Chain A
């Protein structure tokens, strides 16, 4: 089986940096995804990690440590439009399927 933990809510200030953590337990590993989901909308793909280390995409970066069962999403230069839920999703032993965490709701304030 698989288990994924994320903080439920976070608050950060516009222009700041925020780190959203995700820890997981799994018997097989084929990658970890991060998705963004604005209220009432569909999840949209942000990043993918399968090897240890940092992947950078503009203001967003994602880090993975397979030995620690740990990932984080780093958002820089926060904007109001970054207020959304961020979903960590694990691709385990069956490569085609994803298991999602319950998501972290981020609120960006002035």
Chain B
């Protein structure tokens, strides 16, 4: 049971470059989420998706793009990376959007932008 996997685990890039973080889940969960985690802010929602081809903005979407052409994949793209986007990024999924369904998290991608 692979669950939810993120790649790469670590990434260093330069300002202005495009970078894509991958997220893949094997549970066939409907909902998928992208968060960033920074000291003093906790986990903040960037984008989420209720199903393939359905995405919506979270709390901090600026500078990010997502797509979901297949249920199992939910890539996050930084179109032109900035230093303020240095963070740990977590992908999560939940079976449905019902209240009692917890979100399950991947191991995270630690992204540094120089």
A contact residues vs B (CB 8 Å cutoff): 30-31, 33, 41-45, 48, 50, 87, 89, 91, 95-103
Total A-B pairs, Cβ < 8 A: 51
Contact of A42 with B58 in the complex, beta carbons under 8 Å: no
Return chain B residues, CB-CB under 8 Å to A99: 45, 59
B contact residues around A97 at 8 Å (CB)? 33, 45, 48, 58
For B31, B41, B48, B100, which residue has the most chain A Cβ atoms within 10 angstroms? B100
A102-B45 in contact given A42-B108, A96-B50, A96-B94 (Cβ < 8 Å): no
Whether B97 lies near A95 (C-beta < 8 A) is: yes
**Which A-B residue pairs are the 4 nearest by beta carbons?**
A96-B97, A102-B42, A42-B105, A45-B102
How many residues of chain B are within 8 Å of chain A by beta carbon?
Answer: 26
A50 lies within 8 A of B99 (CB): yes
Residues of A within 8 A of B99 (CB): 30-31, 50, 91, 95
B108 touches A100 (CB 8 A): no
User: In the complex, are the beta carbons of B100 and A87 less than 8 A apart?
Assistant: no
List B63-112 residues whose CB lies under 8 Å from chain A. Answer: 90, 94, 97-100, 102-108
Cβ-defined contact, B42 with A43, below 8 A? no
Instruction: Using A42-B105, A103-B42 as known contacts, list a sample of 11 further A-B pairs with CB atoms less than 8 Å apart, ordered by residue number in A.
Output: A31-B100, A44-B105, A45-B102, A87-B43, A89-B43, A95-B98, A96-B50, A96-B94, A96-B97, A97-B48, A102-B40
